[in-house]
Amino acid sequence: RVDPVGQVLRQQKITERQKYSVPCSNHLWHLNGHHKLIQWGIVIHGFVDGYCRTVRQNIQVIYGITT
């Protein structure tokens, strides 16, 4: 089920970056979570440093069981 008109409109929309000031690295972090696979017990989180906008390198994998 793809809406071709809506798809074209979304592709044409330009998202502008918000401007902000961060004094140094590790001062501000952004977090995003992906919960699409939660029915199989998989949740993915990503952290980005707000100063240099790079992905955190020392990623830890944590296995958890939810009931």
Nearest to 49 by CA among 16, 20, 12, 10: 20
pLDDT band, residue 58 (cuts 50/70/90): low
Statement: the pTM of the whole predicted model exceeds 0.75? no
Q: How far apart are CA 35 and CA 58, in angstroms?
A: 21
Q: Residue 49 above 70 pLDDT?
A: yes
Identify whether the C-beta of residue 47 lies closer than 8 Å to the C-beta of residue 29. Answer: yes
57-67 average pLDDT score: 58
- The residues spanned by each domain of the chain are 23-67
Identify whether the C-beta of residue 50 lies closer than 8 Å to the C-beta of residue 28. Answer: yes
